[in-house]
Amino acid sequence: MKQFPLVGNSVKLILKENVLAVLSEKPLTTISSAFHNGGGLKNTKAILNVEVLKSCSDKSLHDNPEPYITDSAKRFGLNESFIGMVTAAAVENFAFASKKVGELAVSVISTAADNEGNTCNFAESAGETINVQENEGTINIIVVIDGNPTESCLGGTLITVTEAKMAALRELDVRSRFSGDEATGTVTDSIVVAKTSRGVPVVYGGPASELGQLVGYCTRKAVKEAITKANEFMPSRSIRDRLRERHMSIEKLSLELSKVNYLKVNPQKLAKILETEPVFASLVLAAVKMDEDVKKGLIPAEFGDIEAVSERFGSLFSQGIKGVKVSNGAKNKSDFEVIDLPPFTKNVLINIVKTAPSKEKTENLK
C-alpha cells in the first residue's frame, strides 16, 4: 500500500493493489458522473477508482460492474456509501497535480488508457456516429477542492474539468478511433469533483475564476501526464502513427497513389520516404492539417479555388528542391482524379513520390 497527502491534512490518496482511493476523515461533498453512487450532490468519505484486472475483463463485468466495485471497496472496510468508478487503466500509473492560491487548494488525480496501455483505442469526438461493442479504455478524473464552492459552482467546476481534459487531448493530438477527428474524450470517461467545505463560499468555478484556473491547470497537467504514461502513446510518436490515427494509413495512401501507374509505390517504400526525410514528413502533416480546415470550412475566402491552390502548394515544394528535376509524370491532370484523397494531401504526396526517386539519385551522385 502506498499513501500520498492531498489537500489539507485530513484527505489522503491511497494506492492499494488495483484500487486508487481518496479517503477523508470528514465527509466530502461531491458531484460526479461516477458509476457507483454518482450523480447529484452526495456526501462521502471515500472515492474509489477501481482497476478492472485483465482476468476479470469480460462481458458480464461490463454489463454489471457493481459487485466488482463493492468487493474492491471491502479492502478498505467501506460500506456502499462510497463513490466508485472503474477503469481498464493500470491505476499505479496515475498522474497527480496540485496547486494552492491563498486559502484555496486543488488536487487532481487522473488515470488514462486501457488494459493494453493504449489511450486511443476508444477515443471519440462528441457528436459523431459511434458504434462500439466493447468499453475498454477510459479517462477517470478525481478533483479534490480544499474550499467551499457553492452547489452551482461545483456544477461549473465540472464543466471546467471537462474543458481542461479536452485541452489536454488537443495538446497531444489524440484522435477519435471512429472518425480520425480531434478527440474530446473516450467512450467511458468519468469525473468526480469533491470539496472539503472549508472556508468562505466560492461562487464561480468557470475557467476565468480563481478556482477554475486552479482546476483547469491541475486537470490539464494530470490528464496529459496520465495519457503519456501509457506505453503505446507518446507525443513523439511516428509519422506512420500520426497518419493512421487520422484514418490515413500508409497502406491506404499507397493504394490510392498506385491507381496512377506512374506513381505506383508500395507501403514500405512510402514509409521509408516519410520516415527518413523530415521535410517530406512535415509537409504531409501540414497538408493533412490544411485538409482538416477544408473539411471544417475554415479556409479563408482569399484562397479561392481549393483544388488550384492545393496543386500549387504541392508543386512549389518539388520545385524548391535544388538540383532535382521532376518528371511531368501523367500526361493529363485528369489522370490524378482517380486518387481519392483530400486535395492538399493528395497533391503533396503526388509531388513527394515524383520527387523522391530523383532526390535519391542526386544524393547518390554526391
Q: Which residues pair with 194 in a beta bridge?
A: 30, 144
Strands 83-87 and 138-146 turn out to be unpaired
As a whole number of angstroms, the distance between CA 176 and CA 178 comes to 5
| Three-class SS state of 299 | coil
- DSSP letters of 159-202? HHHHHHHHHHHHHTT-B-TTT-SBP-EETT-EEEEEE---SSEE
Query: DSSP E strands: which ranges in the chain?
Result: 2-5, 11-16, 19-32, 41-51, 83-87, 95-101, 104-113, 123-124, 138-146, 148-149, 185-186, 190-195, 201-202
Tell me which of 23-37, 291-305, 309-323, 345-359 is least confident. Answer: 309-323
For 340-355, what is each residue's pLDDT tens digit?
999 999 999 999 988 8
Place 329 in a pLDDT band, splitting at 50, 70 and 90: very low
Per residue in 105-130, pLDDT tens? 999 999 997 656 566 677 899 999 98
Q: Domain coordinates of the chain in residue numbers?
A: 2-228, 239-364
Whole-model pTM over 0.85: yes
What mean pLDDT comes out for the span 166-175? 95
Q: At 305, is the pLDDT very low, low, confident or very high (cuts 50, 70, 90)?
A: very high
Q: β-strands 83-87, 41-51: how paired? A: parallel
Q: How far is CA 202 from the centre of its chain?
A: 31
- State percent of the chain over pLDDT 70: 85
pLDDT at residue 69 in the model: 87
CATH topology (fold) of 2-228: L-amino peptidase D-ALA esterase/amidase (3.60.70)
- Using a 10 angstrom Cβ sphere, with 0-12 exposed, 13-18 middle and 19 or more buried, the burial of residue 108 is buried
> Which amino acid does the sequence have at 104?
L
22 three-class SS: strand
pLDDT digits (tens, 9 = 90+) for 31-83: 999 989 988 899 999 999 999 876 655 555 566 678 888 888 988 888 878 99
The pLDDT mean for the chain works out to: 87
When pLDDT is averaged across residues 196-212 and rounded to a whole number, the result is 96
pLDDT tier at 359, thresholds 50, 70, 90? low
